[in-house]
Amino acid sequence: MKVAVLGFGTVGQGVYEMLRHARGLEPGAVLVRPGKDDAAYKVTDITAITGDPTVGAVVEVLGGIEPARTWVEQALLAGKHVVTANKALVAECGPELANLAREKGVAFLFSAACGGGVPFLHNLALSTQSDEILTVGGILNGTTNYMLDAMQSRGADYAEVLKDAQQLGYAEADPTADVSGLDALRKIMLACAVAFEKLPAQGLYNEGIQNLTAADVKHFQSLGYTCRLVAKGGPVADTVFAFVEPTLVPASAAECAVKDNYNLARYEAKCAGDIVLMGQGAGRFPTASAVLRDLSDVVSGQRVMMPENCARVTADCSGCGHPYYVRLPEAFAGMLPCDKVTVADGVARVITKSVTVKEMHDTVAALRDKGAQVFFAGIEE
Amino acid sequence: MKVAVLGFGTVGQGVYEMLRHARGLEPGAVLVRPGKDDAAYKVTDITAITGDPTVGAVVEVLGGIEPARTWVEQALLAGKHVVTANKALVAECGPELANLAREKGVAFLFSAACGGGVPFLHNLALSTQSDEILTVGGILNGTTNYMLDAMQSRGADYAEVLKDAQQLGYAEADPTADVSGLDALRKIMLACAVAFEKLPAQGLYNEGIQNLTAADVKHFQSLGYTCRLVAKGGPVADTVFAFVEPTLVPASAAECAVKDNYNLARYEAKCAGDIVLMGQGAGRFPTASAVLRDLSDVVSGQRVMMPENCARVTADCSGCGHPYYVRLPEAFAGMLPCDKVTVADGVARVITKSVTVKEMHDTVAALRDKGAQVFFAGIEE
């Protein structure tokens, strides 16, 4: 099957290279911006791909909503299978694109959009066919895992490890989407859609690592914990819960073995039990390998990853809870249901009683409105 | 698709139950021994299944070579897809059964035979389509992992944890296949066949945990290591290496996070990098879930897991090596290339220089021929 590629950045180049060696696949045209069409296989007009009857599938690795959305729609309308690595696109327009693919009888797969080289959504989708998924989650952002791992192994402060991550190419010049947890949140949205047939579009909570300090790290290391940025999702009544927050895990947890910029995805299924998947969550060839595995699935007959008529829902995070570690100005500690408190130099470090995710994130938002500097992390029990 | 089941033991009953709820699948007849046919869906003659045109696929969960081999052959000859959980059968007759399936245009999948609920072979087979597999391995036997974990967390001795494992149903009355590493060896044979198109049938090495003592555990805990029973395989020239041995891993390794009777499978691919998969390696529903995932794959068009004309080869373990921990009578320590030695009460505990797998296993076999009590474990560097 001949495969055209939309976008020729880091991942696009990796996909093109892998297509040259894959069984049953070969590279077709590559769509680039005008002026970048410096080779015979590069075109600047989507109709050169949608109008080519020899092209069987299109890989979209542009990122962002437009023009990706329009071009993916055009490819599906032209009867081409589509494989994408674009999590923003699928989180925003996934249900409509999946329905269009189903209508046209072609594939729409997006494994590379969640977990990079870690075969998360592929296995999740497969498990939904015969098993019931109970929870999804994991460490879904490699940039922040690199930063957390560096802070904890070297005792370095946030600003220093962010600079390192940028120099290594792990973090963008504007790192907001990664460090705020938004990137991980989009990924857990996709996992919820695949696992529970519901795409949570509102009512979501994400807390990042921007406020973490070396002193916080030292404190929770003294408690025997390791901090990871963890995403979680699961079904609740007729919707789902889904959130991202720094999480303190005990030394025995698989999450502690996730070093550098690796990812860990996990899900629990009623029959299969706990399934944990680790690997490279980003990077040219790991991400390209996820695209290529989707293309192999297309060849062997897999079709649409997102369930039919996947509903957009408002998430409900008021039913799941756990204790939290919260560092905040001493004067505000009374606003929390404290279990243990240590105070030094006007700063309180609180271990709370069990609090719901909604209540904790809302409380911290209110504290920040009052000007309080706060870091908080869930505690894995 | 209607699915018949050969065997109605622990896994067979789980498969039957899951078939009742799976999308696009329904349970057909179950083949049992005469006298056990106490329900309308139970039959005692394979022709009741092979001759039924409404049966699309057959699940074989009998275990052992015969009658499983004959019945699987008959099912394939009758044009039925076959999914099996029988590692002995696939390790012994896999290439011929796979070729027969290919000839008849039906599926032959065996994910459940290696890793139970851990989706190992499925992902490995998928990765081979577009990536190059460099190594395969992991903790592929849950019984011994339970025992090792118990010895290390409780300081218990071998006999005590074996008894516990038998009472919990993790170990058979005759535990030889598990504790000797033979079960894990069969699994790594299958992984080599899927990953490298070569089924190693000779030249293999497996060392089990029967000779491990609480004193050994104490010693390597003092060195900061955890002991796991690890299988490894990889390509070398025109064959593969494949072996199983107790392995000392550092505290940071993912293997340390594998508790109780869980499994961990890993492979390294040229593009995707390291991929690690953890989950329940055995048990009714985890194993049945692997069978059901294979059946979903059959429905969506997957065919034969083992590569075409998979060659039987003699493994070569003379090119891979590492340091070892060896506990043996002091008088024999001179036979080893010692790096560090501690001696107490006539017993030497040696850390060797790097030794090839072949040389170490052969040396220990020679020592045992001389009557020496020896335990040894590779050291992960």
Q: Which residue of B has its CA nearest to A277?
A: B277
Can you tell me the distance from the alpha carbon of B236 to that of B354, in angstroms, rounded to the nearest whole number?
A: 18
If you count them, how many residues does chain B have? 381
Can you tell me the distance from the alpha carbon of B136 to that of B200, in angstroms, rounded to the nearest whole number?
A: 13
Number of CB atoms found within 10 A of residue B164's CB: 16
Number of CB atoms found within 10 A of residue A371's CB: 8
Residue B300: its chain A contacts at CB < 8 A? 300-303
Q: Which residue of A has its CA nearest to B270?
A: A285
CB contact under 8 A, B275 and A118: yes
A-contacting residues of B 143-162, CB under 8 Å?
none
Residue B286: its chain A contacts at CB < 8 A? 271-273
pTM: 0.95
What are the distances in angstroms from CA B299 to CA A257, A297, B97, B126? 36, 13, 20, 16
Can you tell me the distance from the alpha carbon of B39 to that of B111, in angstroms, rounded to the nearest whole number?
A: 29
Residue A142: its chain B contacts at CB < 8 A? none
Can you tell me the distance from the alpha carbon of A72 to that of A88, in angstroms, rounded to the nearest whole number?
A: 13
Number of CB atoms found within 10 A of residue B106's CB: 22
The Cα of B285 is separated from the nearest Cα of chain A by a number of Å equal to 5
- DSSP-H helix ranges across chain A: 10-19, 47-50, 68-77, 87-104, 120-128, 142-154, 158-167, 176-179, 182-196, 214-222, 284-299, 357-369
CB contact under 8 A, B127 and A279: no
B-contacting residues of A 114-133, CB under 8 Å?
117-119, 122-123, 126-127, 129-131
What dihedral angle (degrees, nearest 10) is formed by the CA atoms of A88, A90, A94, A100?
110
What are the distances in angstroms from CA A379 to CA A178, A220, A367, B2, B21? 21, 10, 20, 46, 36
Q: Which of A368, A285, A270, A363 is nearest to A324 (CA)?
A: A363
A-contacting residues of B 243-272, CB under 8 Å?
252-254, 256-257, 259, 262, 269-272
Cβ(A317)–Cβ(A203) under 8 Å? yes
For A23, the token pair is: 């069984």
Q: Which residue of B has its CA nearest to A24?
A: B129
Q: CB of A135 within 8 Å of any CB in chain B? A: no
CB contact under 8 A, B276 and A277: yes
Q: Are strands B239-250 and B205-206 parallel, antiparallel or unpaired?
A: parallel
Superfamily of domain B120-280: Dihydrodipicolinate Reductase; domain 2 (3.30.360.10)
Give chain B's count of helices (H) and strands (E).
12, 20
The Cα of B358 is separated from the nearest Cα of chain A by a number of Å equal to 30
For B305, list phi and psi in degrees, rounded to 5. Answer: -75, -35
DSSP conformational letter for B254: G
What dihedral angle (degrees, nearest 10) is formed by the CA atoms of A118, A122, A128, A133?
10
The Cα of B305 is separated from the nearest Cα of chain A by a number of Å equal to 12
Domain with CATH 3.40.50.720 in chain A: 2-113
Q: Hunting for tokens 């190693």 — which residue is that?
A: B200
Give the nearest partner residue to B272 out of A24, A252, A289, using CB atoms. A289
Q: Which residue of B has its CA nearest to A153?
A: B252
For B83, the token pair is: 């999914």
Residue A270: its chain B contacts at CB < 8 A? 285
Can you tell me the distance from the alpha carbon of B381 to that of B375, in angstroms, rounded to the nearest whole number?
A: 19
For B239, the token pair is: 């064959």
Q: Which CATH class is domain A321-379?
A: alpha beta
Q: pLDDT truncated to tens, each residue of chain B (381 aa)? A: 999 999 999 999 999 999 999 989 999 999 998 999 999 999 999 999 999 999 999 999 999 999 999 999 999 999 999 999 999 999 999 999 999 999 999 999 999 999 999 999 999 999 999 999 999 999 999 999 999 999 999 999 999 999 999 999 999 899 999 999 999 999 999 999 999 999 999 999 999 999 999 999 999 999 999 999 999 999 999 999 999 999 999 999 999 999 999 999 999 999 999 999 999 999 999 999 999 999 999 998 888 888 888 899 999 999 999 999 999 999 999 999 999 999 999 999 999 999 999 999 999 999 999 999 999 999 997
DSSP conformational letter for A193: H
Q: Are strands B324-329 and B375-379 parallel, antiparallel or unpaired?
A: antiparallel
Before A67, cis peptide (omega within 30)?
yes
Can you tell me the distance from the alpha carbon of B185 to that of B200, in angstroms, rounded to the nearest whole number?
A: 10
The Cα of A262 is separated from the nearest Cα of chain B by a number of Å equal to 9
The Cα of B69 is separated from the nearest Cα of chain A by a number of Å equal to 27
CB contact under 8 A, B117 and A272: yes
For A52, list phi and psi in degrees, rounded to 5. Answer: -95, 110
* Selected residue of A111, A130, A261, A305 to mutate for chain B interface (largest B Cβ count, 10 A): A130
Please name every residue paired with A27 in a beta bridge, in sequence order, or none if there are none. A3
Can you tell me the distance from the alpha carbon of B63 to that of B84, in angstroms, rounded to the nearest whole number?
A: 9
DSSP conformational letter for B86: -
Q: CB of B167 within 8 Å of any CB in chain A? A: no
For B102, list phi and psi in degrees, rounded to 5. Answer: -60, -40
Question: Environment class of residue A166 by beta-carbon count within 10 Å: exposed (0-12), middle (13-18) or buried (19+)?
Answer: middle
Before A286, cis peptide (omega within 30)?
no
What dihedral angle (degrees, nearest 10) is formed by the CA atoms of B159, B365, B114, B49?
-90
Residue A175's pLDDT is 96
Can you tell me the distance from the alpha carbon of B306 to that of B294, in angstroms, rounded to the nearest whole number?
A: 13
Residue B1: its chain A contacts at CB < 8 A? none
Angle between helices B214-222 and B142-154 (to 10 degrees): 70
Q: pLDDT truncated to tens, each residue of chain A (381 aa)? A: 999 999 999 999 999 999 999 989 999 999 998 999 999 999 999 999 999 999 999 999 999 999 999 999 999 999 999 999 999 999 999 999 999 999 999 999 999 999 999 999 999 999 999 999 999 999 999 999 999 999 999 999 999 999 999 999 999 899 999 999 999 999 999 999 999 999 999 999 999 999 999 999 999 999 999 999 999 999 999 999 999 999 999 999 999 999 999 999 999 999 999 999 999 999 999 999 999 999 999 998 888 888 888 899 999 999 999 999 999 999 999 999 999 999 999 999 999 999 999 999 999 999 999 999 999 999 997
**How many Cα atoms are found within 13 Å in the side-chain-facing hemisphere of B323?**
15
Give the nearest partner residue to B286 out of A257, A272, A302, using CB atoms. A272
CB contact under 8 A, B279 and A278: no
Residue B303's pLDDT is 85
| CATH ID of B2-113, from 3.40.50.720, 3.40.50.1460, 3.40.50.300, 3.30.70.20 | 3.40.50.720
Compute the count of residue pairs across chains A and B with CB atoms less than 8 Å apart.
160
Q: Which residue of A has its CA nearest to B23?
A: A129
Domain with CATH 3.30.360.10 in chain B: 120-280
The Cα of A258 is separated from the nearest Cα of chain B by a number of Å equal to 8
* DSSP codes, A93-147: HHHHHHHHHHHHT--EE-GGGTTTTS-HHHHHHHHHTTS-EEEEEEE--HHHHHH
DSSP conformational letter for B279: E
A-contacting residues of B 346-375, CB under 8 Å?
none
Question: Environment class of residue A380 by beta-carbon count within 10 Å: exposed (0-12), middle (13-18) or buried (19+)?
Answer: middle
Can you tell me the distance from the alpha carbon of A170 to that of B310, in angstroms, rounded to the nearest whole number?
A: 41
A-contacting residues of B 12-31, CB under 8 Å?
14, 18, 21-25
Q: Are strands B239-250 and B225-236 parallel, antiparallel or unpaired?
A: antiparallel
Q: Which of B57, B45, B42 is nearest to B2 (CA)?
A: B57
Residue A306's pLDDT is 84
Can you tell me the distance from the alpha carbon of A242 to that of A231, in angstroms, rounded to the nearest whole number?
A: 7
Give the nearest partner residue to A276 out of B14, B252, B279, using CB atoms. B279
CB contact under 8 A, A126 and B119: yes
Tell me the torsion sign for CA atoms B303, B305, B307, B311: negative
Q: Which CATH class is domain A120-279+306-314?
A: alpha beta
Q: CB of A283 within 8 Å of any CB in chain B? A: yes
CA B376 centroid distance within chain: 21
Q: CB of B1 within 8 Å of any CB in chain A? A: no
CB contact under 8 A, A130 and B25: yes
B187 catalytic? Reply is yes
Among residues A187, A198, A232, A358, the one annotated as catalytic is A187
Among residues B80, B187, B198, B358, the one annotated as catalytic is B187
**Region of residue A321 (phi > 0: left; psi between -120 and 50: alpha; otherwise: beta):** beta
What dihedral angle (degrees, nearest 10) is formed by the CA atoms of A274, A280, A286, A292?
10
